[in-house]
Amino acid sequence: MRVPLDLHAVACGDSVAFALATPLRVRELIALAVREVIGTRAPCDKFARSMHRTLTGLAAGDFTLVIDGRTFADPETVVVCERIADVRFFSAKRVC
């Protein structure tokens, strides 16, 4: 999934480091992933329900979240991403 650049941080901090990598909370990456899956034209209430269920499932341990090869359980953790983030959800239960 494409990661948006923080142009405000680039302009205010006059730092090209923010143009190459963007610090995001896991919650924001989940929101980008959910939006990509349900589509940009999905109603806001569907997005809100999907986000709520995803964050609830993460907290309950229903699935494992792996971002760029690292496992995360806390949606408030900050991750530094470069242009594209590999976000994967793995079910904790085996589906037959």
Q: 96 in a domain, yes or no?
A: no
Q: 2 in a domain, yes or no?
A: no
Q: 28 in a domain, yes or no?
A: yes
pLDDT, residue 24, reads 84
Question: Closest Cα to residue 55, out of 84, 26, 78?
Answer: 26
pLDDT, residue 72, reads 94
Question: Closest Cα to residue 89, out of 53, 56, 62?
Answer: 62
pTM of the model: 0.75
Q: 1 in a domain, yes or no?
A: no
Q: 53 in a domain, yes or no?
A: yes
- Each residue's pLDDT tens digit in the chain (96 positions)? 565 555 555 555 555 544 556 788 899 999 999 999 999 999 999 999 999 999 999 999 999 999 989 999 999 999 887 778 888 999 988 766
Number of domains the chain contains: 1
